[in-house]
Amino acid sequence: MFVRATGFGCSMLCAAIALSLAGTAHADTQSAPEVTSAVQHDQLHSLRGVMPRPDDFSKSGHNHPARPLPWLDGPGNPTDGAVQGGTSGVAAPTAGSGVDGVGNGFSGPQGTFTVNSAPPDTNGAVGATQYVQIVNSGFAVFDKSTKNVVYGPVATNTLWSGFGGPCETDNDGDATVVYDKAAGRWVISQFAVTAAPYYECVAVSATSDATGAYYRYAFPYGNVFPDYPKMGVWPDAYYETFNMFNGNTFAGAKLCAYDRNAMLSGAAATQQCFQLSTSYGGVLPSDLDGSTAPPAGSPNYLINFTAGQLNLWKFHVDWTNTANTTLTGPTALPVASFATACGGGTCVPQSGTNQKLDSLGDRMMFRLAYRNFTDHEALVATHSVKVGTTKQNPYTGVRWYEIRNPGTAPVVYQQSTFAPDTTFRWLGSVAMDKQGNMALGYSASSSAIHPAIRYTGRLATDPLNTMQAESSIIEGLGSQSGNNLSRWGDYSAMTVDPADDCTFWYTNEYLRTTGSFNWSTRLESFKFSTCQ
């Protein structure tokens, strides 16, 4: 979601909800799923053949008020119980030749991008030969080998040209792109929420070429606002999660499955959804990495956090008989103590301005990456937590987890909060290569530095619960200021190249000069030398 000039903070109502929900993490009883059909579907024969309108970017950027989640980390202000306050002398893998992505002044074959909203909602995915990066109102396609832009930038709703309805006319953001590695397809989605009824617009490429044909769908959500959608690829479905709101009142997370098999061929498709209670928000679906599928019949795994624990659900979908579709959980997985970064709100300082940035500490960060190592299954996840214990410097760190055997006997195999010094670190994204090595990217800022993009990593053979030394992708040259503009990033994305299953690709936000609505993005790739 993006705003023009409004901040993102938690109101008194939000705090009151938090008190009423403290300690209420309990199993939701789920009956039959809600089954609805896509209200429309068609095929775009070639994205390359679409001529973007020259005013697309200037018209995009509707103002959708921010909808914070209730604070669900419980009463009190617990000290972080898993801080890694230093690092070993080993450095994370060396980055390659990074390039700027879609952002202020970014140009490509289809023109120049204009920033008129914030935050950018930066994310991307790597495929067989291309990298697709998407921000709140636009996207571009890059050649993977050269990192040169081959298509774009265009407004995201260019994908729905000729489709009709809000998917074509709105360009409302909260977009994500994932790569279906088993099928060699791109899945791009964004919501259409300028006015009710609301929709999630989903486009599945017909081939591995992101500039070619797409099968397009519009899934309905009535008059309940489907905020912060996040997608994961699984063999039986594309799973999408939302934070639902009746007006500004949180209505709980909604967990949905789209009929992947139908959408791969452009056939009519349905969705099956479960609505959780207001005790749960910020749920992520698992997204499959690697060439080894989950064990046959495995449900999709979904995770969020509440006070002192992760919550794990299992979503099994049956497209033949929806009565057999089930959602079980949550199973509580106790973790080391933590408090959410900035209490879930705004406190991250920047150099040269009094404007603080939002931590997005009230939710898990995209993606929930899954990998099947044959002898065990693994999920890696991250969120932002408070580390500093003084009011003068409540600095934040990135908490990360590896959860093993989610389908049988789930356990938090390792966990840590990466905070090697008092710089604020937040907005992480984590993934794991085929050897079990991890890479963790994030934003970093303080009163002494402009927001930067940094990363760390660990080899599978490193001591448990530790990351290696920090590396920098790019150090920002400006801070976000003016217009009470606290929103930052909203999410970033660490993905793994399906070609070698070793190379990590990361994208996030930074600024080249201090200002408002002038953000840039960066994309970078790197791998561990031991992974071949």
User: In this structure, are residues 453 and 510 in contact, taking their beta carbons and an 8 Å threshold?
Assistant: yes
Nearest to 83 by CA among 399, 461, 411, 457: 399
Nearest to 505 by CA among 484, 479, 519, 523: 523
Q: Is the pLDDT of residue 403 over 70?
A: yes
**Quick one: tokens of 200?**
């999630």
Q: Can you tell me the mean pLDDT for 109-121?
A: 93
The span from the CA of 159 to the CA of 47, in Å, is 7
Listed by start position, the domains of the chain span 12-21+36-526
User: In this structure, are residues 232 and 284 in contact, taking their beta carbons and an 8 Å threshold?
Assistant: yes
pLDDT attached to residue 17: 33
For 232, the 3-state DSSP assignment is strand
Helix, strand, coil content of the chain in percent (nearest 5): 5, 45, 50
Sign of CA pseudo-dihedral 479, 482, 485, 489 = negative
Q: Is the pLDDT of residue 11 over 90?
A: no
Specify the higher pLDDT residue, 63 or 134.
134
The span from the CA of 349 to the CA of 368, in Å, is 28
Query: What tens digit of pLDDT does each residue of 358-389 get?
Result: 999 999 999 999 999 999 999 999 999 999 99
Q: Is the pLDDT of residue 58 over 60?
A: no
Specify the higher pLDDT residue, 11 or 460.
460
Query: What tens digit of pLDDT does each residue of 136-161 get?
Result: 989 999 999 999 999 999 999 999 99
pLDDT attached to residue 116: 86
The span from the CA of 108 to the CA of 283, in Å, is 35
Assigned CATH topology for domain 12-21+36-526: Methylamine Dehydrogenase; Chain H (2.130.10)
Q: Can you tell me the mean pLDDT for 255-275?
A: 98
Query: What tens digit of pLDDT does each residue of 275-285 get?
Result: 999 999 999 99
Query: What tens digit of pLDDT does each residue of 477-498 get?
Result: 999 998 789 999 999 999 999 9
Q: Can you tell me the mean pLDDT for 416-440?
A: 98
The span from the CA of 203 to the CA of 314, in Å, is 25
User: In this structure, are residues 516 and 481 in contact, taking their beta carbons and an 8 Å threshold?
Assistant: yes
User: In this structure, are residues 10 and 16 in contact, taking their beta carbons and an 8 Å threshold?
Assistant: no
Q: Can you tell me the mean pLDDT for 458-467?
A: 96
For 414, the 3-state DSSP assignment is strand
**Quick one: tokens of 85?**
């306050």
Interacting residues of 148 by C-beta distance below 8 A, sequence separation 6+: 142
pLDDT attached to residue 20: 34
Q: Is the pLDDT of residue 315 over 50?
A: yes
pLDDT attached to residue 68: 82
Q: What is the pTM of this model?
A: 0.93
| % of residues, the chain, pLDDT over 90 | 84
Q: Is 99 left (phi over 0), alpha (psi -120 to 50) or beta?
A: beta
Q: Is the pLDDT of residue 48 over 90?
A: yes
Position 74, amino acid: G
pLDDT attached to residue 379: 99
pLDDT attached to residue 284: 98
Counting Cβ atoms within 10 Å, is residue 323 exposed (0-12), middle (13-18) or buried (19+)?
exposed
pLDDT attached to residue 12: 30
Query: What tens digit of pLDDT does each residue of 13-36 get?
Result: 333 333 333 333 444 556 899 999
